[in-house]
Structure formats: C-alpha cells, structure tokens
Chain A
Amino acid sequence: MENWEIVHVPDNPPIPPDQQPTVDVIASFVDPKVANTLVRRLNQIAQLENLRHVKRVKKKFVEGGRTQLSVILCLASEIGNPLESIPHDVQELMNSYQLSPFITKVCKYAALSKEEWEEQCKLWPTSYHPPTYNIDGITGFSEEDSQSVFGFMKYAIQLAKSGDKMVVNAAVIVDPSVKQVITTACDQTCPWYTPANNTTLETYCFEKTEASVSQSQSDGVFSYETLHSNSLPHFPKQLNTGVCCLYPWGWAEQQSDTNSCSWHPLRHAAIVAIESSAARDIHLFPSLGKIQDKYAETEHIHSSSVGSPAKRQKTHSTKVNDEAHLDSNDEGSSSLSVRPYLCTGFDIYLAWEPCIMCAMALVHQRIRRIFFAFPNPNAGALGTVHRLQGERSLNHHYAVFRVLVPEEVLSRDETAAAEYN
C-alpha cells in the first residue's frame, strides 16, 4: 500500500453488481397515454410486496425519438406457468387494455451502493436510497476529514507498538466534532503489559478536554507521535500474538508470572477504552443533572474567593484565573453543555479489527463510527468472521471503515526505532 485510504465496510457482504439475485415479474408494453391510469389501478390491485425499490414503469428510448413504456403488472408465480396464474383483477385489466404480458427479471433486493444500483437499472429501473442512517463518511470523506482520520489512526498504531515487549491492540476514542481525543487504551490481558504510558496520556487528555479545545488536531497528533517515537518495537514483521482480539482464547496458554497482578482475559483495548471514557464522563459530569452542575460551579467560585488575608493578593489573581477558567468552560460548554449519552457521536480508532466481544461492547456504548487498520482473520467481527454492523435487530448501528495504512508509515517507524537504539 502506498497511500492512505479509507474504505467503508458495508453492512452486508458486497455482492458483485452483476450477480445480484433477481425475481421474475410479469410486465407488458403499454401505450404512454394510458400509463398513468394503469399504474394507479395496478398499485391498488397488485402491490409489489418486498419490491418497493423496483420502479413500476420502465422507459426506453427507441428509434425515431419515440419512447417505449413497459409496466410491471404483478409478481410472477413461482409454481406452474406464471402467465396462467395471473390474479383475476390483473387479468381483467389486461383484457380491457389489450395488454400482452411477458416475463422479465428485476433485482430482488434494494441496491446498497451506487455501483449496485447502476447495474440493477440495466435490468429494470430501481430506486436507490443511500443508507438511511446518516453517518458521515459512508458517502465519502472530505480532504480535511480524511487527514484527521489518518492522524488518529496513526496515533492508534503508535499506541499499539508502545508496549515494551509485544505489539498489542490499541484504541483511541475521539470526539470528531472537535477533533479531540477522549481517551486511549491498550490491551490489558497479559501479565507483561505495563500501563504506564496510558496513565500519563489519560491525564493529558483530561487536561486537553478542559483547556485547549482549539488546539488543531494535526498538532495534537504530532505531539503524541513525538511522545511515543522512542519506544517502537519492530513492526509489523513481528508475530502479533499480543493482540488479544486476534487470539481471544489464547490467554489460558500464556505463561503467567504469578507475581504480576495485572492480567485479565477480557481487558481488550476497546473494553478498557470504554471503561476509561465512562470514568471520564463521571469525572467531567459528576452529577447527572445540568442544574446540579451549575450549582457546583457557583460553589467553586465561592470557595476560591474566600481566601485568608495573608493570601489576599494571590487570591485576587486566582480569582482572575478562575474567571478565565470559567470563561473557557463556557466556551467549551457549547460542545459539553449536553452530556453525551455514553459514546454517542464518538468515533473509535483500533489498530486491529475487534473481536465479537469488543464489537458488541461498542454497540452497547453507542459508538458512532469504527475505524480499524488491520483485518482480524481469526475472530474479526466487522466483516471478516462476523459482520455485526449488519445485524438489524440491534438497537444501535455504527458505520465501519477500514483505513489502509501506507507501508512507509509502518517501516518508517522501524527505522526511527533503529536510529534511536
């Protein structure tokens, strides 16, 4: 791979547009003058159940600038001769307009992409509605948004490599509306994992949340990179056995150090990130109601303005700072005033495609979009082994994207590591 690229992973496995399933219908050429009346009557007596995406009328330009119209009369019966089992009402209509029926094919399912739709229309015209849930990115990314996606993915990959001994999976939860990192996490299933980096980063994120929303995303990512560029193991040549979404059942085979107290078979990066974002939510919004938040703020002013006389001068400056702090809070509150419900509106960047446990956890936590860099052939739940985004019964649906990472990004890091050593 030479360039960054974002690929939407659709809800259903992509079907080659020319291999879409079809069904037979009974149609007839009609005189354009009577087409309207006919269609209206047909919609009453022979609705096309389950074929709402199929248009009733097909228009074809023929020689001499004339148009030829054909209309679907009804579905073709699958048993026996379809032309002999036309419903009585339709038969009457055919007789009165002297129509001669023929059997033709239409696509059985609504098109999922523009490409599929174009192919369908060659057979018989259909309508195409881009995905009903309106999630940014399904229909493409702007240059600015793409750059932001690449930046966050780069960060997730850096984190995945930041462990001491192994490559692990890493998660970065982002609020895309302000291009800001909400939290980060790495796999914590294994005894050898040391979460030291994570803590500092989390603190950094909290501070960032409260203070500098305005900091540009690219700057942010750059500083993260410099933070981490000193600890890069060889990648991706190394076996990725540390990535627990790849080997969810592998924990029992791991040699455990009984002195270590930090292993847990379910603490995959996404699960830890969700936990951390929930903790952040409680930290930022200790009480559930907005009114109570206001109360907390007034109390804060009150307590800081009552200083001991000896510290009066200092109190004064603190007060100014407090006001500035409050101002910035107010600015921030344009995005924070409504506490998001769980991770509604947030994106998550994962180095590897998550396993089914993590994928479902992200449904529960209401993540809006998932970006992953590397497919997970063993247990991937977003298109490889399972395709959770296609389970319509779930109460929440996210959009899934795979980010193709240029080879040079991965190898450059190796060189960086080599130089550093």
Chain B
Amino acid sequence: MTENFRPDNAAQVQDAIAWAVSAETPLELVSRGSKRDVGRPVQAAHTLDLSALCGVGLYEPEELICQAGPGTPVVEIEAILVESRQMMAFEPMDLGPLLGGEAGQGSIGGVFAANLAGPRRIKAGAARDHLLGFTAVTGRGETVKSGGRVVKNVTGYDLSKIVCGSWGTLAALTDLTFKVLPAPEVETTLVINGLDDAAAVRLMSAALGSPHEVSSAAHLPIGIGAGDVSGPATCIRLEGFGPSVAARAEALEGELAGFGGTMGAVDGYLSRDLWRAVRDVEPLTAPLDRPVWRLSVPPMAGPSVVLAIRSAVEGVEYYYDWAGGLIWLAVPAEPDAHASTVRGAVAGAASGHATLIRADEAVRAAVPVFQPQDPGLAALNARLKNSFDPLGVLNPGRMTAGV
C-alpha cells in the first residue's frame, strides 16, 4: 500500500523516517513538489511530504537572518522580506513553468535542496552560500543540527554546504536559517544589441573585470527573447543606490563602446522582468516536450561548448547567463536527450558539468541526469550518502543510479 505521510512537525518527520528505516522501505521526499520532475525518477513506495512544516519562525532584518520551515512558499518569504527592503540575494529561481507547472509554487526547502540560484549568482553566490544552519532528520532516523543563526561561523564541518544540492538524498530538512541582504534601491540594465556569442562573452568578461560591480551578465542570441528584450542582446545589470547605479552605467557604457553593437538600456520593472525571464528559463520553456540542459562551464568557454553541440545537433536553442558560464540549452526530443553530445562538449572545456533539468521520465531513467563523475569521486559521493543514509531510504537513486 502506498502511504503519503504529511507530518505536522519535526518529531513526526523523525517518526516517519525511523519507521522507514525499520521497514527498510524508501521514501520520496517532497516539500511542495514543484521540482519533483527534476532528477532520476525515485522508486519509493511512500511519500514524505514536508509541506506542513511551514512558516517563517524568525526574521531579524538587522541581523540579516531569516528562519523558516522547509515547506514555506518562496513567494511568502519574499513578500515578508520586501517589507524590510531585503531579499535572498542569490535570487532563487522558479522552475515551475519550465517543468510545465505554475509559477510561485516552490518551497524554501526545495530551493536549498536543489541549490539553484539566479543571475545574481556571479556576484552574490548560490543558495549554498546563504544557508547558515539547519535541523534535519538523516536517513538513520536521527535529528541533527548544524551551523547556527549567525552569519559568521566555522564551528564543525559546514554541513549546510552538503545538504544544499543534495536533492533530499541525505536528510529531510525540518528547519532552515539563511542569510538575507538589503535589496538594491534601483536597477538598470545595459543592453548591447548585435553581438555574436564570442564577442558577447568578451564584452561580459570586460564588464565583470571592471570596477563597476556588475551583478549579472547574460547573452541572448538571435531568435531568443526575454522580457522586452530580443536577441542578439547582451545584458549587463547594475544594482544599488540610485546615484551609484547612474554613475556606473555611464562609465560602463563608455568602456564597452569598443566592443561594437548598439547600446541601449532598460530600467525598473523592464529590467526586473528581463532578469526574471532569464532566471526562470522563460525563453526555452515552450514547447514543453523539448529536453532542457543546464551547463556550468568556465565563462569564456561558453561559446565553444555551444558551437560543439550545435555542429552535431540541429534545432538547438540556447542562451547564456553568468557571463557565459551558465548555458541553458533546449534540444529536440530524443531518447537520450543528446546526452553524449552535450557531455562531450562540456568535456572539451577545462572544467564543468551538465544537468538534464527537464526531460520525460523515461529519458531521466535512462540517461544520467547529473554529470557522471570519475570513479574516485563517485565512490566518495557514495560513501558520503552512506554516512547519512546507510539503507538508502531517502530519495534513493534520485541523483545517481544505485546511490
């Protein structure tokens, strides 16, 4: 019989996992389920639904910290932070629409478990850089805590890093404390039209190498649009205090003039819409049956990786974020989602990885969703999983087959 446990509190989460351990029966962990279709399909008889562990328990704007249950909707937290003109600086992305669901459904537990960050990642860090502490129930059925409620702490191993991006395979988070930061007063985006990929990446490198504190840099090639902007468009975001943003925009315009293209700018809500679209992969969302890859590579390597894929596969659509270091790529549906081509191209860069973020369940069962690792590293990952979840009761196989 399939059961759907929905604990009301952390003690019940521990009960449920302790039972799963005693019955040696796996659980699929979900919070609000908005990212359920990412990763390998989990073979679990039962579901452990953490969405009832919700609500912001503590928010101290002057200490720059916020604490919430894993099931708390991201939109709820954002609404509270806005009142004190603060934000989660890593810009949690909303995968809902990309995966065929609705926007605004994601939970804070899911954001950290997936370690996804938006365009501001290059300046502010990823989700993993903002989780200060947590309480969780491991696959041993034990409640552990790590970290704390202060922004500076090196006491013991930094387990916050390891639970971020573990996709619920190590422990069920029951409580999270994370860092929040002042939201910028204004933002403006320089938009340079007309550059090819290689020139765009050089321009973005120059912008980030300038002292003008660029917070995001994306390039939309021809045929790709986001918000009000259509490609070829190289977008450079500046954020902060009004006079500072104005001065930096002016200086940067001058410094980037030599790269060619035509320079324009979008401000205020137009800029915000643009970056929300870039963040949530709006340009590649439709049609929904195309597999979508997320590639992380050294920024300057972006164009050559894309070129290698495009010369082997027809009908690829893509764009760059993180100054060229993040490539979102949609490929025509195929049983293997062109995995060997995509991963072969990434292997041609000095370092990097490719994750199959969107694909049919059958494809995700057949193709490694997360980048396969060298044997030594894969073995260390497996031992790490084993140290938290020796019987494999939490989301078994979601990241790696058999782990």
Are chains A and B native binding partners rather than an unrelated pairing?
Answer: no
Q: Which residues does B use to contact A, with CB under 8 Å?
A: none
Give me the interface of A with B, judged by CB distance under 8 Å: none
